[in-house]
Amino acid sequence: MLNYAVRRLLMTIPTFLIVAAMVFTLIRLVPGDPAAVMVGDLDDPTVLAEVREQLGLDEPLPLQFGMWLQGVLQGELGTSLMTGEDVLDAMLRRFGVTGQIVAISIFLAMLVAVPVGLLAAWKQNGRADLATMTLVILGVSVPSFWVGILLILVFGVELGWLPTIGYVSIGDDFGQGIRYLILPVAALLLTEMASLARMMRSSTIEVLRLEYITHARAKGLPERTVLWRHALPNAFAPVLTVLGLMLGSLLGGAVVIETVFTLPGLGRFLVDGIYARDYPVVQGTLLLVAGIYVITNLVVDLLYPIFDPRVRL
Amino acid sequence: MLRRANGAIGVALLTLVAVTALAGIIGTPYDPLVLSFEDRLEAPSAEHWLGTDQFGRDTFSRLVTAARTSLAVSFATVLLALSAGTLIGAVSGYLGGWTDRIAMTVIDALMAFPGLLLALAIMAVVGPHRYGVVVALGLAYTPNVVRIVRGIVLSVREKEYVEASRALGNSELYTALTHAVPACISALTVIGTSIFGSALLSESALSFLGLGVPPPAPTWGGLLADATMYMDAAPWLSIFPGLAISLTLLGINLFGDALRDYLDPRMNRL
């Protein structure tokens, strides 16, 4: 177990390095001189040379990368060209917003999708199963940002029940904060629920065919125990992996949802950074998102043996 | 039985969208780009079936024209991802050793970026451009293809017929491409369909964010982005582009499921 954990941990180091190299190179590929972008319209060769010196742009590329990476490891991601803010500080503050809507929606989606998937698999091809599968295919086909727009149209514009744009932190005002979160979370929820339920269903169908389930039934255990005690933990393991992988598409989806609801989250930060050609922001955000993704998948892989003790990589 | 019906519905939906998109080449009821300020934000009527936008452009004509853009971009993305992914995956899996190890580490790192964010980052570098979108999305989906092709090539590499080709004196690359790659065809069909759906969705998201195919060319995502400014005055503008995206995706998903059932009979019972 320890051996597996250590090896899995070591595997993330080259991945991290290459992720960092990609983020670094990407910005260097932008046509034009980064120093000129930073200096802007100020057409003064001495200032330009100074900024080049500061950024280390005259050094050879591998050395530049080394210096940059060293900074990154010490948490120095530079300052935003738009606002002059420290990129790391700004990112961490905005991460709270994105983290909230993603975490709440994943939690709610699991709450619904796991039992629904399990029961659909139990009565495979039954009426409830067919209804579930129909909803699933509709759910994965409707883009979450359009769901968001429709929710704004119905609950904001027509009924006027909920705020449609902006954000209040639940730390400042819990009741108001929740009201601002309802629609964005609901918009992300539909697609997540659908794909998790589908995964849970097919994984349960696989498990229910195994001999230990037949054995449990032959022992005369009630169906409820067979399903929830015996089938569920085993069927859940692959769903957990998918959940880790889904986080990527969720963070992607959050970018668009944050734009729809004008939430001050990480995704909006990245998009604004791209519009403004604010490269420290773009670099920092990409690095953080990729980092979160790598770490989540590490955690998922480390958790896996708990659900499926046969895993010994 | 129901599965087969689903597949048929999927094909019907996709045919409808494709035929509409192609019919747009012959002509649309109105020019999708011509402004007409006296007709701004009109509700759906006999003249303008789906109403008009903030510049008085006919929504139906713009939707039809946008269909062509979305489908063409998604299709080109699939071709790019499949060809690049197959080449890299086949060579890497076939050669093995250090080539494989390095290629896989790079692919792992690429996969750490969510597809849409990777595409966003590449768009930040190349700027909004029709072909830029294809390159960005193509690159974003290549790693998935590499993974699958490599896995299959690894499993057939040691089979006798591959051995035989090598014994006949064929080069390694020739053997890999003519004998190992064909084993991947059915998997490639399935993943190609799924990439088509993801690419369509991502293309809409990119143009919704204003980082996709640049205006004035109409795109479904761009139409939605415009519509969000007029939700009070013209709510119908927000309905139709989203409906177009959803119906196309539904078609692809239904078709993709049916295709997978057909190509992978083991899954049939699921």
| Other CB atoms within 10 Å distance of the CB of residue B265 | 8
Asked if A248 lies within 8 A of B245 by C-beta distance, the reply is no
Shortest CA distance to A86 belongs to which of A95, A76, A96? Answer: A76
**Sorting pLDDT into bands at 50, 70 and 90, what band is B248?**
very high
Note whether A160 contacts B: Cβ–Cβ < 8 A. Answer: no
**Sorting pLDDT into bands at 50, 70 and 90, what band is A313?**
very low
**Sorting pLDDT into bands at 50, 70 and 90, what band is B270?**
very low
pLDDT at B118 over 80: yes
pLDDT in tens, A260-269: 888 888 888 8
pLDDT at B93 over 70: yes
**pLDDT: is B126 or B80 the higher one?**
B80
DSSP state of A125: T
pLDDT in tens, A192-205: 899 888 888 888 88
pLDDT in tens, B169-196: 888 778 777 777 777 888 888 889 989 9
- Mapping DSSP onto H, E and C, the string for chain B reads CHHHHHHHHHHHHHHHHHHHHHHHHHCCCCCCCCCCHHHCCCCCCCCCCCCECCCCCEHHHHHHHHHHHHHHHHHHHHHHHHHHHHHHHHHHHHHCHHHHHHHHHHHHHHHCCCHHHHHHHHHHHHCCCHHHHHHHHHHHHHHHHHHHHHHHHHHHCCCHHHHHHHHCCCCHHHHHHHHHHHHHHHHHHHHHHHHHHHHHHHHHHHHHCCCCCCCCCCCHHHHHHHHHHHCCCCCHHHHHHHHHHHHHHHHHHHHHHHHHHHHCHHHHHC
pLDDT in tens, B1-18: 456 778 888 889 898 888
Note the pLDDT of residue B75: 93
**Most confident option among A113-117, A273-277, B4-8, B124-128:** A113-117
Shortest CA distance to A268 belongs to which of A27, A73, A101? Answer: A101
Residue with tokens 């802007």: A40
pLDDT in tens, A61-76: 788 888 888 888 887 8
pLDDT in tens, B203-219: 999 989 888 888 778 88
pLDDT at A172 over 80: no
Integer Cα distance of B30 and B36 in angstroms: 11
Note the pLDDT of residue A154: 84
Asked if A252 lies within 8 A of B2 by C-beta distance, the reply is no
Asked if A251 lies within 8 A of B117 by C-beta distance, the reply is yes
Q: CB–CB of A250/A102 below 8 Å?
A: yes
Average pLDDT of span B78-107: 88
Note the pLDDT of residue B37: 65
Average pLDDT of span A157-175: 72
Shortest CA distance to B136 belongs to which of B212, B234, B238, B39? Answer: B212
Average pLDDT of span A303-312: 68
Note the pLDDT of residue B82: 93
Of A22, A137, A256, which has the smallest distance from its Cβ to B109's Cβ?
A22
B129 contacts on A by Cβ (under 8 Å): none
Of B110, B205, B232, which has the smallest distance from its Cβ to A145's Cβ?
B205
Note the pLDDT of residue B250: 92
Of B120, B121, B242, which has the smallest distance from its Cβ to A146's Cβ?
B242
